[in-house]
Amino acid sequence: MLLVAKTVVAAMAAWVLARYLLPPAVSTFAPFTALVALQATVYRSVRDCLQYIVAMAAGATLAATLAAVAGVHGWTFALLTLIALCVGRIRRFGQQGIQVAIVGFFAFSSGQGQIDYIGHLIASVGIGALCGLAAHLVLAPARHTHHRQQAVTDLYSTMSRRLDDLADTLEANNPDRDHLRQWRRDWRSLSAECERTRHSIETEMENGRMNPRRAISGSGEALPRAREALTVAERSMDHLRSMSRTLDYALDSGELGNLPAAFRPGFSAVLRAVATVMEEMGRASATDPNFLDAKIDEAAAELDQVQQQGRTTREASPAVHALQGTLLTDAGRLLADLRSGRQSLART
């Protein structure tokens, strides 16, 4: 809403100034340029505005050149369109490439390629750009570093709670099948939330470029760390989904109840240890690497103990051994990803 309000004020100011200073034929370009110059971030506004100005200059120059050399005719207009569309495809114009043709049409048709019209057109665009960028400088977009960090922290807290719930389900005498299936559906929504959070972090990193507002202390490292932590969370979520799916199938087949008595509490202890690691890793403030390594080692030790117990259990059926192996493999891969993720976070 703030961006809309700034856009309305900037467009109005640009239109009033252009109507007062320039001919009516070019006054519309001023508020249009103000719209281009007011994007979600200052960096994007400056980038799009510069791309638009360069595209406008290219279109106006092309129209003036064709009008002066070959005159204003149907075939020259067609030639103008062809050249403008080809020039507009240059990657440096970005999304403003089509403006080469649009501005060329106005300069060729309404201005007949005359230098006076093109000069007024450039002035109108300049007024719009100044009004739009001035609105950003007067009231620059707010910084949201803490909110982006908190979103990642909340994601890790949710995943940690789910691991604790999985541990409770594994230990329960009568596991709640509907609850477990609800978790499987919730993993999909969490994956979508990861995409939204990643987009917001990248937007906030862009928002910090050229922003005149004072940066929060440590924001230069906080956002890259949050993005890397989100990548670790996405990889970890794959293994958590696999665990939930395996337990769901085991409930349906009845194999969950056939697991050895020592396996279920032992594996539950592994899940709770991993949940503690995820809770620490997701904190907004950087966690002590040595402390986090110690927590990961504790979880790995719990996993090794369960694996040793599984090797000494011979009376279980092949289906039960397969179930144990699947759960242990997912847990091992999850720990491996958390360990490599901890190293990645330490470098950011």
Whole-angstrom distance, CA of residue 185 vs CA of residue 272: 22
Whole-angstrom distance, CA of residue 75 vs CA of residue 71: 10
Percent of all residues in the chain with a pLDDT value above 90, rounded to a whole number: 6
- Determine phi and psi for 138, rounding to 5 degrees: -70, -45
pLDDT band at 220 (very low <50, low <70, confident <90, very high): low
pLDDT of 215 reads 66
- As given in the structure block, the two tokens for residue 112 are 């007949």
pLDDT of 8 reads 92
Of 95-109, 232-246, 255-269, 311-325, the poorest mean pLDDT is in: 311-325
> Once rounded to an integer, what is the mean pLDDT over residues 108-126?
78
- As given in the structure block, the two tokens for residue 345 are 């976070």
Matching residue, tokens 């979600």? 40
Of 25-29, 259-263, 324-328, the poorest mean pLDDT is in: 259-263
> Once rounded to an integer, what is the mean pLDDT over residues 144-169?
85
- DSSP assignment letter at 256: G
- DSSP assignment letter at 175: -
Cβ(191)–Cβ(240) under 8 Å? Answer: no
pLDDT of 13 reads 93
pLDDT band at 139 (very low <50, low <70, confident <90, very high): confident
Whole-angstrom distance, CA of residue 312 vs CA of residue 319: 16
Check whether 313 has a pLDDT greater than 80: no
Cβ(303)–Cβ(325) under 8 Å? Answer: no
Check whether 216 has a pLDDT greater than 70: no
pLDDT of 163 reads 85
Check whether 16 has a pLDDT greater than 90: yes
Cβ(227)–Cβ(156) under 8 Å? Answer: no
Amino acid at residue number 69: V
pLDDT band at 310 (very low <50, low <70, confident <90, very high): low
User: How many residues are recorded in the chain?
Assistant: 348
Q: 306-345: string of b/e by CB count within 10 Å (b at 16+)? A: bbeebeeeeebeeebeebbebbbebbbebbebbbebbeeb
pLDDT of 291 reads 82
Give 92-99's long-range contacts (Cβ < 8 A, gap of 24+).
92/51, 92/54, 93/51, 93/54, 93/55, 94/47, 94/48, 94/51, 95/48, 95/51, 96/36, 96/48, 96/51, 96/52, 96/54, 96/55, 97/55, 99/52, 99/55, 99/56, 99/59
Taking the CB of residue 4, how many other CB atoms lie within 10 A of it?
9
pTM above 0.75, yes or no: no
Of 2-6, 59-63, 249-253, 344-348, the poorest mean pLDDT is in: 344-348
Whole-angstrom distance, CA of residue 87 vs CA of residue 109: 19
> Once rounded to an integer, what is the mean pLDDT over residues 285-314?
79
pLDDT of 316 reads 61
* Helical packing angle, 263-281 and 219-253, nearest 10°: 160
Check whether 195 has a pLDDT greater than 80: yes
Check whether 87 has a pLDDT greater than 80: yes
Mean pLDDT over all residues of the chain?
Answer: 83
Whole-angstrom distance, CA of residue 207 vs CA of residue 144: 9
pLDDT tens for 18-61 read: 998 988 888 888 998 898 888 888 888 888 888 888 898 888 88
pLDDT of 91 reads 85
> Once rounded to an integer, what is the mean pLDDT over residues 314-342?
82
Taking the CB of residue 40, how many other CB atoms lie within 10 A of it?
12
- As given in the structure block, the two tokens for residue 272 are 């709770």
> Once rounded to an integer, what is the mean pLDDT over residues 193-209?
85
